[in-house]
Amino acid sequence: MKKDNIQIASENGKVILLDYEYKDQGTDLPVVIFCHGLKGFKDWGAWDLMGSAFAKANFLFIKFNFSHNGGTPEQPIDFPDLEAFGNNNYSLELRDLQSVLDWLETSDLPIDRNEINLIGHSRAGGITTISASKDDRIKRLVTLAGVADYEERFPKDDELEKWEQDGVYYVKNGRTHQDMPFNYQLYTDFKQNEKELHILDAASRLSIPHLIVHGTQDPTVNVNDAYRLRDRSRHAQLSLIRGADHVFGASHPWEQDLMPKDLRQVVQCTINFLRSN
């Protein structure tokens, strides 16, 4: 296996941390780019094992940290840079993904440029859907526990007014015990770019194969979001993982040698989808 870690310049002096893994066969390989969700990072839980599984299946697997996910080059796991986290927004994540795609085009990796596929987990299910709806470099889309609508996940009524007045609200990270800041700019950026950031509208514009994977016991993003995406995406396949949670049985840190059963099912389902479409 060939592996490496690199950095790509982003905005506000931040960088995108990226790694890739592939089995060198002397031929160009189809690409899978994985995008993490909210309060996530590329090295979370069993994502490394997932990447190795795709590499063994003859894909060139890429995963990266969004530039403002709260990590740093020196400490990419967990969230030492809460200021950056608070200044993250959906538009910035879309631009980060475009930067990764642009970098890939100019890289010397053995890639088949007609076989670039995206996987987005949770919040990034929306980011990847929006990107795939307007970037013809992307040939297939897989959304894992993906959200169907960003606006409905914002605070409402009095809570929204308080957010505007305070400029920030906090969510406790149960694992790290940090108070994660969400600056009001997240909402204003969404409202300013609402048309572009409407996930279901983007799904309706997709002209490529789209696999929607969701756990039936997801407590974070209800499985109804998967049905809503399926109803709007004309080329969608829906795969429900019975009894699975939001992260398909994984946790952080993941210290076992094998992926959890539900995530293994997700990976195999995704590989079958990419090969058959």
Of 110, 94, 135, nearest to 55 by C-alpha is 110
pLDDT at 78 over 90: no
Of 109, 77, 81, 113, nearest to 10 by C-alpha is 81
Annotate 179-200 with b (16+ C-beta within 10 A) or e (fewer): ebbbbbbbbebbeeeeeebbbb
Count of CB atoms situated within 10 Å of the CB of 60: 25
Distances (CA, A) of 58 to 140, 219, 250: 16, 33, 24
pLDDT at 218 over 90: yes
Q: Which residue has the tokens 């889309």?
A: 141
Tokens of 257: 């040698």
Give the confidence band of 242 by pLDDT, cuts at 50, 70, 90: very high
Of 3, 208, 16, nearest to 103 by C-alpha is 16
For 47-179, where are the alpha helices, taking DSSP H only?
47-56, 82-86, 90-106, 123-134, 157-166
Helix (H, G, I), strand (E, B) or coil at 74: coil
Classify residue 145 by its DSSP letter.
S
pLDDT in tens, 80-100: 999 999 999 999 999 999 999
Check residue 214 and give its pLDDT. 98
pLDDT in tens, 14-54: 999 999 999 999 999 999 999 999 999 999 999 999 999 99
Mean pLDDT for the chain? 97
Residues in a beta bridge with 21: 3, 61
